[in-house]
Amino acid sequence: MSASLAPLPSGVRLAQLPPLALYVHMPWCVRKCPYCDFNSHQTKGDLPERTYVDTLVTDLELALPDVWGRRVHSVFFGGGTPSLFSAASIETLVSAFRARLPLAADCEITLEANPGTFETEKFRGYREAGVNRLSIGIQSFNPKHLKALGRIHDDGEARRAIDIARGSFDNVNLDLMYALPEQTPDEARADVEAALAAGTTHLSFYHLTLEPNTFFYRRPPSLPDEDAAAAMQDAIGEKLAEYGYIHYETSAWAKTGRECRHNLNYWRFGDYLGIGAGAHSKLSFPDRIERSMRCKDPRNYLERAARGEPVQERKEIGRADLVFEFMMNTLRLPGGFPVSLFFERTGLQISAAERPLAEAEARGLVVRDHERIRPTALGQSFLNDLLQLFLPRAERA
């Protein structure tokens, strides 16, 4: 892997840099789930915990010149299964981040945890290490569906995990999925009710998708049809609204003030530095915006780092891609974005997106005035069709 820049600069000029977040990827899991396309690998033998922690710190140190002096507003330990790491390792990492970067006083620090991989002591340790938000991968409360999803936990462990989490954290997210193999709308409703009964501050409900490179893609299970999935989606939204959760992103609901700051930063096209195997970064500079990706394979990442070789590839985002990427993030928010944000984040005038915006408006997918642009209910339901309009011409379907 070599550091290289795209030959054609976008010519952007940014008056100010966006807020900055730090993402830390932990790429191992007890077992690979048959639907999962994330950069996660079944542990074989011992986790190289110590080496990985040291490599993450070196990775951050080498990236410091790109983010010099910038305050970090959120940190997210994602996976994979970060809760496979000990509280002592997380403590080492949080301290290393604090020593090298100015973390905001109210920095949100989230850690993803899987039921079946932690106990009370470990959770307390995460809290003491500085983690102040926990995201638990529940997926479903129905033992039949958990089994079909190949999860290592059952419904009892799911509930126990939430109880333990709430003992140490007051800011907890649960990840659930719907449109599961053989799932009925009534079963999806029962999952929402169980999630609501857990009383957490944040809920994410993802439509199960068949991703290439997964077992489910190769051997598709029997999934609910489009109408049944749409009925589930409506039932989930209605129930969560009834209980006072705000639907602030396609798949995310939160109690007021408990929206995930880290994810909101992505959706507002903010900057993020990603460290660890396969982590992505998007970083702005006064005259350009760059994307980079670290080596995906954890062993390769560790070996390259040990030899002192570059672990990332970087490239500048061109003008057409900037328009698409900005829209791909901000139009996921039911509230859309203030028109001024487009210029702030991309350095481009909104006229650069006029043609697709006019078409989206004519098709009833967005509404806009001179202050704000947001997706309509139709645009939210057909988000992919809406985003297609912003694809650089050569890439349109």
Ligand X SMILES: C[S@@+](CC[C@H](N)C(=O)[O-])C[C@H]1O[C@@H](n2cnc3c(N)ncnc32)[C@H](O)[C@@H]1O
From candidates 1, 6, 36, 320, binder to ligand X by CB under 6 A: 36
Q: From 50, 39, 111, select the one nearest 82 (Cα to Cα).
A: 111
Contacts (Cβ under 8 Å, ≥6 apart) of 394: none
Q: Determine how β-strand 133-139 pairs with β-strand 103-113.
A: parallel
Please tell me whether residue 139 binds ligand X under the rule CB under 6 A.
yes
Q: What number of other Cβ atoms are within 10 A of residue 377's Cβ?
A: 10
CB-based closest residue to ligand X: 137
Taking the complex as a whole, how short is the minimal distance between the CB of residue 38 and ligand SF4, in angstroms? 5
Given ligand X, ligand SF4, none, residue 175, with its beta carbon under 5 to 8 Å by kind, binds: ligand X
Cβ burial, residue 192 (10 Å; 0-12/13-18/19+): buried
Taking the complex as a whole, how short is the minimal distance between the CB of residue 222 and ligand SF4, in angstroms? 20
Q: How many amino acids of this chain bind ligand X (CB under 6 A)?
A: 16
Please tell me whether residue 27 binds ligand X under the rule CB under 6 A.
no
Residues contributing to the site for ligand SF4 (CB under 6 A): 29, 32-33, 36, 38, 40, 79-81, 114, 137
| Of residues 171-200, those binding ligand X (CB under 6 A) | 175, 177
Edge-first strand listing for the sheet containing 288-294:
246-249, 252-254, 202-207, 172-178, 133-139, 103-113, 72-79, 20-26, 271-275, 280-285, 288-294, 312-316
| Of residues 76-115, those binding ligand X (CB under 6 A) | 78-79, 81, 112, 114
Taking the complex as a whole, how short is the minimal distance between the CB of residue 113 and ligand SF4, in angstroms? 10
| Helix (H), strand (E) at residue 306 | helix 298-306
Report the C-alpha gap between 291 and 6 in whole angstroms. Answer: 11
Which residue, 77 or 390, is less far from ligand X as judged by CB? 77
Edge-first strand listing for the sheet containing 372-375:
337-338, 372-375, 366-368
Per DSSP, helices labelled H in 108-154 are 120-129, 143-148
Report the C-alpha gap between 125 and 103 in whole angstroms. Answer: 20
Given ligand X, ligand SF4, none, residue 32, with its beta carbon under 5 to 8 Å by kind, binds: ligand SF4
Given ligand SF4, ligand X, none, residue 209, with its beta carbon under 5 to 8 Å by kind, binds: ligand X
Which residue, 81 or 201, is less far from ligand SF4 as judged by CB? 81
Which residue, 214 or 284, is less far from ligand SF4 as judged by CB? 214
Taking the complex as a whole, how short is the minimal distance between the CB of residue 254 and ligand X, in angstroms? 16
Report the C-alpha gap between 149 and 142 in whole angstroms. Answer: 11
- The residue ranges that bind ligand X (CB under 6 A) are 35-36, 38, 78-79, 81, 112, 114, 137, 139, 175, 177, 206, 208-209, 211
